A and B are shown apart, each in its own frame.
Chain A
Amino acid sequence: MRPSSSDRVVRGLCRIYDVMLLAYPPTFRREYGREMAAVVRRRAREVAEREGCWAFMAFLLQIVSDWLRTATRERLDEGAGRSVDAHGAAVISLFAENNAGRAPDSERSARAWSLVLAGLGAFLLAEGWVRWFRIMGIWR
């Protein structure tokens, strides 16, 4: 990517990521949001300058898929954490991925709804990205 267009793309991505951070619970966002945005900015700049357009597209997909999975998980954890003490919740969360199949019905239902909403969100976001890239003249 040319330096001027890569700067614009990175700035645009950072602005969009700042909005995406709103999907995380407020406590998590306050604690880690600024660092997450800084990590995305630094990595995006590196990929755009050194690895080219296709690597940047792969990076965007990675960011979106990470956001969908972790925003949903942090929301679920926040709900679960209210009924368990902090240390217990942390231990449970470390095992959550291994015991995903054993979730109770209410949690499974919440997870299913989250996935449906996440899928819809991903579709809208992808549509937005394609339009934005066309406007910027990067992808025709």
Chain B
Amino acid sequence: MARAKDPHGFLPLTPAVFHILLALSNGERHGYAIMQEVARDTDGTLQLGPGTLYGCLKRMLSARLVEESDERPDPDIDDERRRYYRITELGAQTLRAEIQRLAGALSAAQARRLVSPRRVPSEGRR
């Protein structure tokens, strides 16, 4: 149980969990918006299917990395039956810990000249 409350206990995250947390770090979203945000963030290389998305959300809700939001936008512009999800403090800490872990891995790869420091950001946006 103690392990679950430590963000490092969740690492390494699967790509799907990592990108869902990243999508929710900008604010609360419903399932379809999360799918679209993940596809945009990864230039379409990670397309979450509905089973993967809601399977991950179910486990992330149980692990308290995300929670359901009670707030709804204007009912005139949104389906009020649709559920919104937001990142919790534990989720945000876990996301930061995973980013640090990935940054460490990137530094190690750069030290071995496996990746050029300048090329990484421009390739990601292409």
Interface bin, chain A: 20 to 34
Interface mask (A80-114 → B, CB under 8 Å = 1, otherwise 0): 00000011111101100110000000000000000
Chain B contacts for A32, CB-based, 8 A = 54, 57-58
**Contact at B49–A62, with CB atoms within 8 Å?**
yes
Complex CA–CA separation, A129 to B47 (angstroms): 22
A79 nearest CB across to chain B (Å): 15
Chain B contacts for A65, CB-based, 8 A = 49
Complex CA–CA separation, A104 to B17 (angstroms): 25
**Contact at B52–A94, with CB atoms within 8 Å?**
no
**Contact at B49–A67, with CB atoms within 8 Å?**
yes
**Contact at A31–B50, with CB atoms within 8 Å?**
no
Complex CA–CA separation, A74 to B62 (angstroms): 14
**Residues from 22 to 63 in A contacting B, C-beta threshold 8 Å:** 24, 28, 31-32, 34-36, 38-40, 42-43, 62-63
Count of A-B contacts judged by CB separation below 8 Å:
80
Chain A contacts for B13, CB-based, 8 A = 94
**Residues from 11 to 41 in B contacting A, C-beta threshold 8 Å:** 12-14, 17, 31-32, 35
**Contact at A67–B10, with CB atoms within 8 Å?**
no
**Contact at B62–A35, with CB atoms within 8 Å?**
no
B35 nearest CB across to chain A (Å): 7
Question: Does B115 sit at the interface, judged by CB under 8 A?
Answer: no
Complex CA–CA separation, A86 to B82 (angstroms): 25
Question: Does A70 sit at the interface, judged by CB under 8 A?
Answer: yes
**Contact at B32–A42, with CB atoms within 8 Å?**
yes
**Contact at A67–B83, with CB atoms within 8 Å?**
no
Chain A contacts for B1, CB-based, 8 A = 87-88
Chain A contacts for B61, CB-based, 8 A = 90
**Contact at A67–B51, with CB atoms within 8 Å?**
yes
Chain A contacts for B31, CB-based, 8 A = 35-36, 39
**Contact at A39–B35, with CB atoms within 8 Å?**
yes
Pick the residue among B14, B52, B54, B62 that contacts A90 (CB under 8 A): B62
Please name 9 pairs of A and B residues whose Cβ atoms are closer than 8 Å in the assembled complex, sorted by A. Answer: A28-B58, A32-B54, A35-B82, A36-B31, A40-B50, A62-B47, A66-B50, A69-B52, A70-B52
Which B residues have a C-beta under 8 Å from some C-beta of A? Answer: 1, 3-4, 9-10, 12-14, 17, 31-32, 35, 47, 49-55, 57-64, 81-83
Which A residues have a C-beta under 8 Å from some C-beta of B? Answer: 24, 28, 31-32, 34-36, 38-40, 42-43, 62-63, 65-67, 69-71, 73-74, 86-91, 93-94, 97-98
